[in-house]
Chains A and B, each alone.
Chain A
Amino acid sequence: MSANETYISKRLFQRHLDSVGRARLPEWWLDTQRAAWDAHLGLPHPGPTDETWRFTDTEAIRLSGFEPFPTADLLGALPAGQLRAPAPVKPPPGVVYCTLNEAIAKHADLFRAYFRARPAALGGEKFAELNAAFAACGAFLYVPDGVELTTPLFARHVLNGHNIAAFPHTLVILGKNASATLVEVFDTEYGDRLLASGVSDLHAASGARLTYIGIQNWGRQATAFHSNATSVAQDANVTTLNLHLGARYARHESHTRLDAPGGRAEILALTHADANRRLDQRTLQTHSAPDTYSNLLYKNALRDTSKTVFSGLINVEPDAQRTDAYQSNRNLLLSPDAEANSLPGLEIQANDVRCTHGATTGGIDPEQAYYMAARGIPPETANALLVEGFFEEVLGKIPERPRAPVEATLRAALARGGR
């Protein structure tokens, strides 16, 4: 693929703009999408020498011939059982929970104040611009100051078909001392060649508490990019968990910004890689204020000939004294042919900080495998159980209510794996 090749033709972008016009969305939104389209065209396809794409076979990412098609967005409360149909929800007054297009039409001021205000920008800008150019699906959540949502919310974005591309964009805004939980699933029921470029940006104002869980469960032939930026204000407390279960190639970027004293973030991810799938994760923890805390724990389980990349950086700015920042990437290799690449990193410009970073990669202990066999557990089941056990440390950091259905989804993906 040449550097300036377009993934989606100008004709299809024009057709997208026509549909935006028919949906009677405002002119500023059309301008925003046009500007993003131009920016997308102006950026090169990532190349083998780009540091932010190290270990990724950028030439193997084939992106032509897709037609834009929005996901079906099902919004509601978190269901008790499977993460499919949302339960009905009636949010308290002042809370806005709606699709992206509805937010553009009805809550323009709020939307424009936060839309792409602080993007992740960890190398996938070309794909984030593409998202902004075509965004027509996704979820929007606004919780006003002081409102605590006790019911976890749920959004399911479904993309079914062949040679189609979706660009879900989710924006979460929590006011001062507000609290909310959002579980978001990106799902394919049927289809093969799919492209997805998603964005989930999260904003927690001072004293807010947010739990966000994103489950990437696209079809197994999908190429998927996702960009996540999280802003944590004074004394705010944010937990993010991203599960990577689907896609043939998926790249997830996550940038967490600790902006003010007392801000705390748990940054979690679980990856199940099997077959010849490629899963790529790039993270940045930016501490720009004193007395902030962030703890990143990314765990990857790899089977077959799968390959993962983790590249992470903790950046402590000069003013961010008494920062506590941790970064850990753990890889469990279930096959001798799987490959885990890990690039943990630290950049500390303050002198009074506590920071650690590290990565480990290892296989299953043969004595553990034998112990499970000696109880009659066949190797396939034993491996699935060991992976579940490996993931438990991360799941244990999630509140009970959203954890149960997330675990069920994960178990289903593990059972499906290796087939």
Chain B
Amino acid sequence: MQTLEIRDLAVALAATPETPIVKGLNLTVRSGEVHAIMGPNGTGKSTLSKAVAGHPDYTVTNGDILLDGKSILKMEPDERARAGLFLAFQYPSEIPGVSIANFLRAALQSRLGENENINAANYYKTLYEKMDLLQIARSFTSRSVNEGFSGGEKKRCEILQMSMLKPAFAFMDETDSGLDIDALKIVAHGVNTLRGPELGIVLITHYQRLLNYIVPDYVHVMFDGRIVKSGDKTLALELETRGYDWLKPAPQPPAAS
């Protein structure tokens, strides 16, 4: 059982550290749990996931992120990934000329010791098993990472990577954005397949739609950089009928000058 604990976290763009986007957020995720973070655009949902994954454009100005009790704030993004964090990107980058098979192989190799080498036969066996499980055609592996992919293919590529890299905690940033209903179902199938006692998932989503296919254990609503309400899956349904406005915090009185 592993734990990811976000404590009183404040995050800003590195260029403007005096203007936080995430403003004191608390969240604890344990292995096996699926959390959904919902909220209107611009409330800091994506910023939260980027800060957890160590994006260089963002800076943590307060609070801490603890993986099994140890702070990860001083770790480089690649160290965090090897420690067990995974971010499924909203807009995954294209890597021309690098095949998915070679890319994943390098990612797995980087998790081994100096003198350990990936067994190529076992690697391909595992890769093909995961692809079958996620209903991805074999020809996919020789394509360049995300290059010329449709929105749905990009998201499937993210989920394939997640299944191969076996993270302890995965943040899925707007995984449903830009997907038609068929692609959404395929992605949801992937996530449901990977769901299990070893993996903690944080789904970041704008719409309730994804939660028709992936049923979360917990739902949190984010507003203006904070979680303003938490509940179980029924909260998502309530949001569907009532919208977000009823959760909007009362405007802060202007600071005394």
Indicate if the CB atoms of B95 and A367 lie closer than 8 Å: no
Give A391-414 as 1s and 0s: 1 = Cβ < 8 Å from B's Cβ atoms.
111000000000000000000000
**Secondary structure type dominating chain B contacts:** mixed
Which chain B residue has the least Cβ–Cβ distance from A378? B78
Tell me the complex Cα distance, A381–B105, Å: 11
In chain A, positions 270-304 with a C-beta closer than 8 Å to chain B are none
- How near does chain B come to A383, taking the closest CB pair, in angstroms? 11
CB < 8 Å neighbour of A379 from B78, B106, B111 = B78
- How near does chain A come to B180, taking the closest CB pair, in angstroms? 24
Which chain A residue has the least Cβ–Cβ distance from B77? A373
Which chain A residue has the least Cβ–Cβ distance from B92? A371
Is the C-beta of A374 less than 8 angstroms from some C-beta in chain B? yes
Indicate if the CB atoms of B107 and A375 lie closer than 8 Å: yes
Is the C-beta of B17 less than 8 angstroms from some C-beta in chain A? no
- How near does chain B come to A163, taking the closest CB pair, in angstroms? 37
Residues of A within 8 A of B87 (CB): 374
Contacts A381-B110, A389-B144 given; indicate if A376 touches B78 (C-beta within 8 A).
Answer: yes
Residues of A within 8 A of B109 (CB): 381
Residues of A within 8 A of B144 (CB): 389, 392
Tell me the complex Cα distance, A126–B97, Å: 39
Indicate if the CB atoms of B95 and A389 lie closer than 8 Å: yes
CB < 8 Å neighbour of A393 from B53, B56, B97, B106 = B97
Is the C-beta of A66 less than 8 angstroms from some C-beta in chain B? no
Indicate if the CB atoms of B81 and A368 lie closer than 8 Å: no
Indicate if the CB atoms of A371 and B161 lie closer than 8 Å: no
Which chain B residue has the least Cβ–Cβ distance from A384? B106
Is the C-beta of A55 less than 8 angstroms from some C-beta in chain B? no
CB < 8 Å neighbour of A389 from B82, B92, B98 = B98
Contacts A370-B56, A370-B77 given; indicate if A378 touches B96 (C-beta within 8 A).
Answer: no
Indicate if the CB atoms of B81 and A375 lie closer than 8 Å: yes
**How many residue pairs, one in A and one in B, have C-beta atoms under 8 Å apart?**
79
- How near does chain A come to B75, taking the closest CB pair, in angstroms? 11
Tell me the complex Cα distance, A382–B98, Å: 11
- How near does chain A come to B169, taking the closest CB pair, in angstroms? 13
Residues of B within 8 A of A392 (CB): 96-98, 144
Residues of A within 8 A of B165 (CB): 375-376
Indicate if the CB atoms of B89 and A371 lie closer than 8 Å: yes
In chain B, positions 40-84 with a C-beta closer than 8 Å to chain A are 53-56, 76-78, 81-82
- How near does chain B come to A274, taking the closest CB pair, in angstroms? 19
Residues of A within 8 A of B93 (CB): 365, 367-368, 370-371
Tell me the complex Cα distance, A381–B109, Å: 10
Q: Residues of B within 8 Å of A, CB-based: how many?
A: 29
Residues of B within 8 A of A381 (CB): 106, 109-110
Q: How many A residues touch the partner, as a band? A: 20 to 34
Tell me the complex Cα distance, A385–B110, Å: 12
Is the C-beta of B103 less than 8 angstroms from some C-beta in chain A? yes
Residues of B within 8 A of A375 (CB): 78, 81, 103, 107, 161, 165
Tell me the complex Cα distance, A413–B53, Å: 32
In chain A, positions 252-274 with a C-beta closer than 8 Å to chain B are none
CB < 8 Å neighbour of B106 from A365, A368, A374, A385 = A385
Is the C-beta of B16 less than 8 angstroms from some C-beta in chain A? no
Residues of A within 8 A of B76 (CB): 373
Is the C-beta of A94 less than 8 angstroms from some C-beta in chain B? no
CB < 8 Å neighbour of A373 from B78, B95, B97 = B78
Is the C-beta of B126 less than 8 angstroms from some C-beta in chain A? no
Is the C-beta of B150 less than 8 angstroms from some C-beta in chain A? no
Is the C-beta of A362 less than 8 angstroms from some C-beta in chain B? no
Residues of B within 8 A of A365 (CB): 93
Tell me the complex Cα distance, A385–B106, Å: 8
What are 30 of the A-B contact pairs (CB < 8 Å)? A365-B93, A366-B56, A368-B93, A368-B94, A368-B95, A370-B56, A372-B78, A372-B95, A373-B78, A374-B53, A374-B81, A374-B89, A375-B78, A375-B103, A375-B107, A375-B165, A376-B78, A376-B107, A376-B110, A378-B78, A379-B78, A385-B98, A385-B103, A386-B95, A386-B98, A388-B97, A389-B95, A390-B97, A392-B96, A392-B98
Further 20 A-B residue pairs, CB within 8 A, beyond A377-B106, A378-B78, A379-B78: A372-B95, A373-B54, A373-B76, A373-B78, A373-B81, A374-B54, A375-B81, A375-B103, A375-B107, A376-B81, A376-B111, A377-B107, A381-B110, A382-B78, A385-B102, A385-B103, A385-B106, A386-B95, A389-B96, A391-B97
